[in-house]
Structure 1
């Protein structure tokens, strides 16, 4: 018989499937538990950011006064959105300060003193009038990224309706503005700098630019800008700023400016029916109000990010409409309503010049070269052959004079003489180039060739040479301009037989009040002759400048001053 299992023995259940089920349950529970924990951590992180765990931070913004009111309003709007940057609650504070002043302060570097009273705190975001003001900051590690425009307004001429109509009828360009039109060019004004570059670009046929340094230093550009600057500076009371010039024009002040380079927006905002605009033909300089994120000491990553975010906020269509409403142009938006002023048509936009070029043009505006009749009297005695910085004194002087000749207007009359003693030991004076207009073909080249060919030798005979040149200048007096003799000599005492008393007597005898000729003197080094030459200069209304070395920039500055 077969055997059967006992009734008390239970059938066994395998443990493997049970363990698998339990494991799956634990995994699923763990997954959902981790998700819940992760979400909780994220929520806590967001709550921490929303409550600014790093505290409050002020974003200091400096804007040119011409756009500061709009930037300030946008700053209030932005702050009201409770912006958070890197766990900081951001509040924007706007300070108004002239662009030129801020540019100069930033150019000085982070170690230089900062005038909080005049400029506000050192900004993390700066909004100047134009990219033209950024040129001096190139290579200074001051700007973070590439600045982009917030709004813009072209530089045009504010003028009376009749003047503007006449300019439009003649289709006047920057270089062809009427010679009797007094244009405001206050030194240091941003608008002056931009207008000067526009004039230079037109005169030099540089198109939309940028104007080069060589073009800025050319005789043609110097003559055109100098004529404008001299005309403005000859006013009884030249306005010291663009705003003051607009005020004088608006008030119809007699013997004042007749045209003022200014932004289209500022002219329209004046709401003066006695003033309208004219946009000269040619490339137009534009105030593009770039948002400049400033880098340097004291400006951290949080400030830089906040500056970038605020700039982006101001560019949003709903926000940038505030600029349009104030008369500015904004890319992507309709042209602003300028009231009685018609928006200028811009055929091409002038590119900003380099800092060096802008400085050269600014120097012309500040120190314009006036047409004059001048005799240049060069000391070629052995004392001028002394090595001075690697070349001779004479070579350095020749270089400085040549440079100034390139700047002098064609209307100037220039002659060249030299002196020393001859081989016989007697005073020798030679007329190398008789006086004549620089407009004559090859005159500049002829003077340059003679200057470069001068060689030092012999003794100095400055007294008889100066007396002779002065008498010739008085006899050949050219009315309607400054007449002068420019003596460039070493401080070595005169070695001729002419005495101090005889020189002063000769100058007095040749002088004629109705034919004023001034004697200007540049003396190299220190010596006993300086007092005598100072007397001659004083008695004729001239100027004496002493330089220690001909390799010093002071020489070029003196030559420029005395031939301008």
Structure 2
């Protein structure tokens, strides 16, 4: 084969060189052949293997070739050295054959230029391909603008990291440039990832430090006070111990539930006056027997004292009775109990001769609020149709006034009197208001319970002890105590804890009730609802402050024609007074005066309710006079009428009773014969400290005479109360207070 000639056919191996394209191979740019460049000089054909002897490569890098080394002598290098070494690189980079498109890829190499000084021109880097052997003085042809495609890799030696340049030497391909935007994006990603890792690291470190500090109770241990009704206090203590064993610290403080037992009266009185020292701190969680106690607390301490309240367990109110009495009560209900209580021989009509009356005890201590709930049921059942439960308070007072006289008002004392009596008919107690759960517990201690006591559930809406878990709020509690109490409340409602309470006779959601010979834990009707918090507190007051033995003269303003709650203000006041009269004992002395804008009238003189007036009991005469009262326009001669009423009250003063005058008015005073200062002077002269007659005033709205009313009330030791409306339980409460 000639040094610069194409190999003869007989010299060819018949195998195309490695890397040669085939007929179907496509390229990014069109192939440029020799015909496009007439001056192109034919070079030797590409050998099958790279030749030996390239200056910068060691012998072991390339295998032996099938061609003699003499074909590749020094003359070959001399022919091409000048074309490449002297001008090729400079002319290419100066722009004559330089294409910007390829600059980032080929402008630099990892090898110094001197390494290419012995490279033949036909093996020059691909970027030089467009020259195809032109002299440096010639104008670039089309090949410079459209360079031929890059030749495919054609070596098969050990080194595969670069590309073949057309010579027998492999050249490292140039590093490709990277966009500044890409670099910036990568840097931003790295910064964000690093920041996140650091944040997580330091956050976890601080969290671990806080957790470790909390686990060590850095700030010490703090007790969280819990007060529970005596009927549920012991199981709550047991559950609190379980909670404390696994309780997590709150912040840096370890908390522990401290459960104490107390009746609702002690808790409520503690918020009114001084908190009992024996109960420890004021509670964060209170579990009374019923929401009646919650209503009573809100009435004296404000609704804002309660943060949250939800029922934990429940137990219906029942009557614990002798077994013989249970069957006799089959046709009775809450509304008939006052009559059975007050009639000395009521049980004779129920086929129980010699049993006398019902003898129902209503204990107020240790009874799980059962008596308060029973009072609500009796009031609701006894109130006239269309009237609120407060209209039935007279029946409640009758029930309370006629109950058996015992050593104290404890539930245990009443149950002992019921169960331990040898003769049921002559026993001091025939029935006791209690809860199903308490009766179940008492029965478990009796050897033959079903012969000693039975349970009777009155028909109708169920009076229910709902045991609310009341979360309190106030300045005596820290944030940690509030959080811990909340967590304990949730803990108590979990099925495992409720199951334990169900075993003790409490009704729970999904709980399995125990077996009993005394109570069968039968399904009950819907719970009784008697109204809002104010109504419940009013009804409860009938038990805590029952009607006394007063001597009161009522002075009623007939000019109260304003409409409130669908009725006139006067009608609402008359209804409340009528209800109160029914609740007062027969020995109470009551008189009635009315006045309008013209005159004042003495409707019924002061005297005992049991006395006869014109052939009828004074109580009936008073009720009839109230029913006849009607609104009579504007104006009121209240000052002059009060002077007349106060004179009569002083002249009829009743020893041993609380004497007073109750003024119910809406103002203003319209009689100019006696002004406010004149009335105050008169009252100061008429008041006798040895025979005190207090003046109490219920005043509606914005009365311009308020200062006068407040002054005369203060002078006589009475009280003044302003009401915005008569359509409210506040009216009933005020009348009850001033006639008690």
Change (3 A) 1:164 1:547: same
Per the TM alignment, residue 356 of structure 1 is displaced from its structure 2 partner at its CA by 3.7
Q: Is the 8 A contact 1:222 1:369 kept in 2?
A: no
Distance 1:8 1:90 in 2: 83
1:151 maps to 313
Q: In structure 2, which of residues 569, 582, 603 is the aligned counterpart of residue 409 of structure 1? A: 582
1:244-264 CA-partner distances (Å, limit 9, x unpaired): 322322322865332111111
Per the TM alignment, residue 105 of structure 1 is displaced from its structure 2 partner at its CA by 3.1
Tell me, which stretches of 5 or more residues in structure 1 are unaligned?
385-398, 419-427, 463-487, 495-502, 504-516, 535-543
2:26 maps to none
Distance 2:178 2:592 in 1: 119
Matched ranges for 1:423-434 at <5 A: 434=614
Q: In structure 2, which of residues 496, 499, 502 is the aligned counterpart of residue 318 of structure 1? A: 496
Q: In structure 2, which of residues 294, 310, 320 is the aligned counterpart of residue 134 of structure 1? A: 294
Q: In structure 2, which of residues 237, 258, 267 is the aligned counterpart of residue 72 of structure 1? A: 237
Q: In structure 1, which of residues 242, 247, 258 is the aligned counterpart of residue 430 of structure 2? A: 258
Distance 1:451 1:379 in 2: 14
Change (3 A) 1:438 1:363: farther
1:236-294 CA-partner distances (Å, limit 9, x unpaired): 43641223322322322865332111111111101231122111111112111111111
2:370 maps to 191
Work out whether 1:94 is the aligned partner of 2:259. yes
1:163-222 CA-partner distances (Å, limit 9, x unpaired): 12222x32x211123342122224577222111001111112789xxx94xx31x3xx24
Tell me, which stretches of 5 or more residues in structure 2 are unaligned?
1-78, 87-112, 117-170, 342-356, 558-571, 594-600, 606-612, 662-682, 698-708, 721-732
Change (3 A) 1:331 1:358: same
Aligned residues: 462
Change (3 A) 1:34 1:406: closer
Matched ranges for 1:283-298 at <5 A: 283-298=461-476
Distance 2:555 2:258 in 1: 63
Work out whether 1:357 is the aligned partner of 2:535. yes
1:495-514 CA-partner distances (Å, limit 9, x unpaired): xxxxxxxx9xxxxxxxxxxx
Q: Is the 8 A contact 1:86 1:302 kept in 2?
A: yes
Q: Is the 8 A contact 1:185 1:365 kept in 2?
A: no
3-state SS, counterpart of residue 144 of structure 1: strand
- Is the deviation greater in 521-530 or in 342-351? 521-530
2:395 maps to 224
Change (3 A) 1:490 1:371: closer
Distance 1:226 1:236 in 2: 15
Work out whether 1:342 is the aligned partner of 2:502. no
Distance 2:289 2:243 in 1: 22
Matched ranges for 1:492-531 at <5 A: 522=659, 525=683
1:395 maps to none
1:390-427 CA-partner distances (Å, limit 9, x unpaired): xxxxxxxxx99996444233997999799xxxxxxxxx
Q: In structure 2, which of residues 500, 509, 514 is the aligned counterpart of residue 331 of structure 1? A: 509
Change (3 A) 1:290 1:369: closer
Distance 1:444 1:176 in 2: 23
Q: Which has the larger radius of gyration?
A: 2
3-state SS, counterpart of residue 9 of structure 1: helix
Matched ranges for 1:201-216 at <5 A: 201-204=380-383, 212=388, 215-216=389-390
Distance 1:80 1:12 in 2: 73
1:249 maps to 418
Distance 1:79 1:378 in 2: 59
- Cα RMSD after superposing both structures: 5.2
Q: In structure 2, which of residues 207, 225, 228 is the aligned counterpart of residue 60 of structure 1? A: 225
